[in-house]
């Protein structure tokens, strides 16, 4: 597969609008489609789960599911080579806006600019990403270190024949962008992160979404032989969140569903663990090395 890159840093983009009430003519921007100079195209959701919840109330879950299904279907059409102008949405009430040109330093900046220009409801992290993700970075790093420590404490046959230390936190350059993959060996790549209920969940959601995009970029790149990508997420069982308000709990559940669907659309397995030991056992099963 040809990697989705912007070799000339030039692209066209289209906002995707959704009618809030069918037939009303009232529309909000919910996603953006970008077509690079290379011809490759991608769609990303631009409206957050929490904002959908605020706008649609009790109907938010259904709206989120319909939007996620639409984005997955559209990405499949784009992957199959269908032109943006010929896209067919699986549900009524979705519309493409006017095509616009854009130039940026990389794919993420193209999406950030397009979201900023398409609607006031769009949420872009461009220019403030490092500030909002500091808390998540610390939590993600702590989670990854605990998995690594637990992995090396296991009596696993995989550890008898190979030193996996160098396979953690692997620096790569993909499409002109420097990234780090939490664990990379052979055809398997994994990133690590957490989802914390309450005030941290929105920052964690954005950071986990970035982890998904990094895994997708590695999977798409013809520089690597990665076939299996996973996001190993530390996350409490939602049944234990009775201490949260209904709104906080529902927002947390919506964010998880959003990330799971976003991951699925990009061929990344989104796997939740209640403990780092569980995640370590899972990782051990993925990296078994024969003697």
> Tell me: the pLDDT tens digits for 251-270?
888 888 889 988 988 899 99
Q: What percent of the chain has pLDDT over 70?
A: 85
Q: Angle of helix 134-153 relative to helix 276-286, nearest 10 degrees?
A: 60
List Cβ neighbours of 55 (8 Å cut-off, separation of 6 or more): 20, 28
Please report the pLDDT score of residue 132 as a whole number. Answer: 37
Which range has highest mean pLDDT (1-15, 39-53, 223-237)? Answer: 223-237
Which range among 47-56, 70-79, 125-134 has the greatest average pLDDT? 70-79
Residue corresponding to tokens 């970008």: 34
Average pLDDT over residues 165-171: 91
The whole-angstrom separation of Cα 17 and Cα 95 is 5
CA 223, 227, 231, 232 torsion-angle sign: negative
User: What's the pTM?
Assistant: 0.60
pLDDT tens-digit series, residues 67-76:
988 999 999 9
Average pLDDT over residues 103-132: 62
Tokens representing 279 are 């995640």
Output the average pLDDT for the chain.
82
Task: Please give the pLDDT value at position 61.
Answer: 83
Q: Are strands 94-96 and 188-194 parallel, antiparallel or unpaired?
A: unpaired
Would you state the pLDDT for residue 24?
59
- Closest alpha carbon to 249 in 193, 198, 174: 198
Question: Residue holding tokens 């605990």?
Answer: 146
Which residues, listed in sequence order, are joined to residue 253 by a DSSP beta bridge? none
Quick: pLDDT tens for 36-53.
887 888 999 888 887 888
Q: Cα(136)–Cα(133) distance, rounded to whole angstroms?
A: 5
- The band of 122, judged by pLDDT with boundaries at 50, 70 and 90, is very low
The answer to whether residues 33 and 70 touch, using CB atoms and an 8 Å cutoff, is no
Give the whole-angstrom CA distance, residue 289 versus residue 291: 6
Q: Which of 132, 244, 234 is nearest to 197 (CA)?
A: 244
Over residues 181-224, the pLDDT tens digits come to 999 998 999 999 999 987 667 788 888 988 998 998 898 887 78
Q: How many CA atoms lie within 13 A of 170 on its CB side?
A: 21
> Could you tell me the pLDDT band of residue 130, with boundaries at 50, 70 and 90?
very low
Amino acid 28: pLDDT = 86
Mean pLDDT of 8-22: 79
């Amino acid at each position: 597969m040809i990697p989705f890159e912007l070799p000339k840093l030039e692209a066209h983009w289209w906002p995707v609008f959704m009618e809030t009430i069918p037939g009303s003519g009232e529309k909000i921007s919910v996603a953006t489609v970008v077509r690079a100079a290379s011809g490759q195209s991608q769609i990303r959701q631009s409206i957050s789960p929490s904002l959908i919840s605020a706008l649609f109330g009790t109907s938010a879950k259904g709206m989120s599911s319909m939007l996620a299904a639409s984005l997955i279907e559209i990405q499949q059409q784009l992957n199959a080579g269908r032109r943006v102008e010929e896209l067919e949405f699986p549900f009524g009430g979705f519309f493409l806006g006017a095509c616009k040109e854009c130039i940026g330093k990389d794919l993420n900046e193209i999406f950030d600019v397009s979201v900023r220009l398409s609607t006031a409801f769009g949420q872009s992290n461009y220019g403030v990403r490092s500030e909002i993700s500091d808390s998540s970075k610390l939590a993600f790093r702590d989670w990854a270190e605990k998995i690594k420590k637990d992995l090396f404490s296991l009596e696993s046959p995989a550890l008898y024949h190979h030193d996996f230390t160098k396979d953690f936190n692997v620096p790569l350059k993909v499409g002109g962008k420097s990234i780090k993959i939490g664990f990379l060996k052979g055809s398997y790549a994994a990133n690590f992160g957490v989802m914390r209920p309450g005030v941290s969940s929105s920052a964690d959601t954005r950071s986990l979404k970035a982890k998904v995009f990094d895994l997708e970029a590695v999977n798409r790149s013809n520089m690597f032989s990665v076939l299996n990508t996973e996001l190993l997420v530390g996350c409490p069982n939602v049944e234990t969140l009775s201490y949260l308000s209904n709104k906080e709990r529902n927002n947390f559940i919506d964010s998880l569903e959003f990330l799971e669907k976003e991951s699925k659309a990009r061929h990344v397995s989104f796997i939740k663990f209640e403990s780092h030991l569980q995640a370590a056992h899972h990782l051990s099963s993925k990296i078994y090395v024969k003697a």
